[in-house]
């Protein structure tokens, strides 16, 4: 199939970017990123600068890939990362618009590559259980109800891609942050530090320049791991609680 790609090109953070148009010949079995590989091969053969984009596992788990495709982070398919999107969902002759994740807390590095280090700092602020190696009791000493473990797991599957932030009109990181707080806070091991953790992570989130959450819900809709808004609701409830309890 023949496709027209309108791709955001930006040399670095201090220059202005713009869209450029390219033609590419793709095969329906290719993944979206393989289609971009084909384009880059063409560009390199023409001694031009290939399009920089981030990717690694190419199976939807590392959270590296982050492209806005036709206005949607990770493209049109529900619950699918960019790397898992396949060209069989496109038709011959289509035009596809490709841009980086846009959010003030994620500055563009080059083309489609952005800096998501702010997420690391949110985790560093408290997204862990404080246990040193060697201190742990036997793994079966605290049974955990299957339902709770499953809920915690659902929150823990966040891949840290940042689509929630890119999807949000406010550039809020609430889905990401609340998912980590739920993952840990639901487990008996993580309960002890729960209030402190929530406060510190939310404070860091604000400090990084992520926007506030106004319950738009775009994050959940675009999240490739289908992380639920329940996480935000849970955080709102417990966060209010933790502010009270610390005062």
Partner 1 sequence: MKLDSNVPEGELAEKWTKYRSTMNLVAPNNKRRLEVIVVGTGLAGASAASTLGELGYNVKCFTFHDSPRRAHSIAAQGGINAAKNYQNDGDSVYRLFYDTIKGGDYRSRESNVHRLAEASTEIIDQCVAQGVPFAREYGGLLANRSFGGVQVSRTFYARGQTGQQLLLGAYQGLSRQIATGNVKMYNRHEMLDLVTIDGKARGIIARNLLTGKLERHAAHAVVLATGGYGNVYYLSTNAMGSNVSAAWRAVRRGALMANPCMCQIHPTCIPVSGDYQSKLTLMSESLRNDGRVWVPKKKEDAIAIREKRKTALDIPEEDRDYYLERRYPAFGNLVPRDVASRAAKVACDAGNGVSPTGLAVFLDFSSAFERYGHSEALSQGINNPTAEKIIDLGREVVKKKYGNLFQMYEKITGENPYVLPMKIYPAIHYVMGGLWVDYNLETNVPGLFALGEANFSDHGANRLGASALMQGLADGYFVIPYTIGQFLSKEIRTPNISPDLPEFEKAENDTRQRLQRLIDIKGNQSVESFHRRLGKIMWEYCGMSRNAEGLTKARQELRALRDEFYSDVFIPGTADEFNPELEKATRVADLMELGEVMTLDALDRNESCGGHFREEYVTEDGEAKRDDENYAYVAAWEWDEQEPQVHKEELVFKNVELKTRSYK
- The Cα–Cα gap between 105 and 151 comes to 29
- The Cα–Cα gap between 29 and 123 comes to 37
Counting Cβ atoms within 10 Å, is residue 164 exposed (0-12), middle (13-18) or buried (19+)?
buried
Looking at residues 205 to 224 of the shown chain, list those that interact with ligand SF4 (rule: CB under 6 A).
223-224
Q: Could you say whether residue 189 binds partner 1 (CB under 8 A)?
A: yes
Tell me how crowded residue 167 is: count the other CB atoms within 10 A of its CB.
25
Q: Which stretch binds ligand SF4 (CB under 6 A): 2-10, 53-61, 102-110, 175-183?
A: 175-183
Question: Which of 80, 107, 156, 110 is CA-nearest to residue 7?
Answer: 110
Q: Which does 176 bind (CB under 5 to 8 A by kind): ligand FES, ligand SF4, partner 1, none?
A: ligand SF4
Q: Could you say whether residue 225 binds ligand SF4 (CB under 6 A)?
A: yes
Q: Which does 117 bind (CB under 5 to 8 A by kind): ligand FES, partner 1, ligand SF4, none?
A: partner 1
State which of residues 74, 183, 194, 234 lies at the interface with partner 1 (CB under 8 A). Answer: 183
State which of residues 68, 159, 174, 181 lies at the interface with ligand SF4 (CB under 6 A). Answer: 159
DSSP letter (8 states) at residue 209: T
- Binding region for ligand FES (CB under 6 A): 55-58, 60-65, 81-83
x-marked contacts with partner 1 along 60-99 as a string, rule CB under 8 A: xxxxx---------------x---x-x-x-----------
Q: Within 13 Å, how many C-alpha atoms sit on residue 137's CB side?
A: 5
Q: Could you say whether residue 163 binds ligand SF4 (CB under 6 A)?
A: yes
Q: Between 5 and 85, name the residue whose CB sits nearer to ligand SF4.
A: 85
Q: Within 13 Å, how many C-alpha atoms sit on residue 141's CB side?
A: 5
- The Cα–Cα gap between 210 and 168 comes to 10
Footprint of ligand SF4 (CB under 6 A): 158-164, 175-176, 179, 223-225, 227
């Amino acid at each position: 199939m023949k496709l027209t790609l309108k791709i955001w090109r930006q040399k670095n953070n201090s220059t202005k970017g713009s869209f450029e148009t390219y033609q590419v010949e793709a095969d329906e079995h290719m993944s979206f990123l393989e289609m971009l590989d084909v384009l880059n091969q063409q560009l390199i053969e023409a001694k031009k600068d290939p399009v920089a984009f981030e990717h690694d596992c190419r199976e939807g788990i590392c959270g590296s890939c982050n492209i806005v495709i036709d206005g949607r982070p990770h493209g049109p398919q529900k619950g699918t990362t960019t790397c898992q999107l396949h060209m069989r969902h496109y038709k011959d002759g289509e035009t596809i618009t490709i841009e980086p994740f846009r959010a003030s807390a994620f500055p563009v590095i080059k083309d489609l590559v952005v800096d998501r280090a702010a997420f690391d700092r949110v985790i560093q602020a408290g997204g862990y259980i404080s246990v040193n190696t060697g201190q742990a009791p036997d793994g079966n000493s605290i049974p955990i109800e299957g339902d709770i473990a499953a809920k915690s797991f659902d929150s823990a599957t966040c891949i840290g891609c940042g689509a929630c932030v890119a999807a949000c009109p406010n550039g809020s990181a609430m889905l990401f942050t609340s998912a980590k707080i739920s993952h840990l806070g639901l487990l008996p091991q993580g309960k002890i530090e729960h209030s402190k953790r929530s406060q510190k992570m939310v404070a860091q989130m604000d400090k990084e320049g992520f926007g506030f959450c106004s319950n738009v819900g775009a994050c959940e809709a675009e999240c490739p791991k289908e992380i639920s808004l329940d996480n935000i609701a849970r955080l709102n409830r417990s966060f209010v609680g933790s502010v009270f309890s610390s005062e």
